[in-house]
Amino acid sequence: MRLGNKQALVTGGSEGIGFAIAEAFLREGADVVIVGRDATKLATASDNLTRAGTNGTVRTLSADLATGAGVESVVEHVKMSGRPLDILVNNAGMAFLVPFETVSQEQFRQSFALNVAAVFFLTQGLLPHLAAGASVINISSYFADKMIPKRPSSLYSLSKGALNSLTKSLAFELGPRGIRVNAIAPGTVDTAMRRKTVDNLPDEAKAELSAYVERSYPLGRIGRPEDLAGIAVHLASDEAAWTSGGIFAIDGGYTAG
């Protein structure tokens, strides 16, 4: 087991990519805390993870990371556990895929509160509690660098671009402490958040998006949450002891062209 005796914390861990990563960590022997806003979803996720017969233990923590109080509650939870944190996965996020001219100040505030500020201040707050050789993994997006025609992403792309810059700068700042910081940049993944944004598109735009995906992904499909689990396990493990500052595109080859 590659993550035996390690403690991990995964934000947005009750579904989608976060859930798949938590499941893979548990399978590899890590003890995992999954964080989310919805206590009911967290309980369901915990039950599903436990039934999967994984090797580590799972705990849940309800917190709204878009708020300072939510971030502080997670930091306090780790502090009170009395156990250093070996792996931090900053996965919680949101996407307003709306035209630039209609982006509201509230949408801007919400996006940066969760996609950027939460990552910044949660990592900062947990810094005293990160173990030697700890791994921080940020979940970014291909939208930081590559766009899809007729799918407006100015706000989302801006927030994920900021996250990539933060990843690289923290790799430099925290490297002398032995802490590694990397990001995973998925392509389109079939998650609840993705389905919600697509459902809000007009029917014509949905059809165009589906056709675009089919012809644009070299592997012929969009991703599944479990497609991100392998690289997350690798980056969290000692196998990646000399890997830091990387932005890893896991996107079925989409950004290769």
Catalytically active residues, by annotation: 156
C-alpha to C-alpha distance for 233 and 100, rounded to whole angstroms: 36
Q: Which residues share a beta bridge with 62? A: 36
Checking DSSP bridges between strand 180-186 and strand 58-62, what pairing results, if any?
Answer: unpaired
Which DSSP helix (H) or strand (E) runs through 25? helix 16-27
DSSP string spanning 162-228? HHHHHHHHHHHHHGGGT-EEEEEEE-SB--HHHHHHHHTS-HHHHHHHHHHHHHH-TTSS-B-GGGG
Q: Is 106 helix (H, G, I), strand (E, B) or coil?
A: helix
C-alpha to C-alpha distance for 73 and 65, rounded to whole angstroms: 9
Output the six-digit token pair for 73: 């509650």
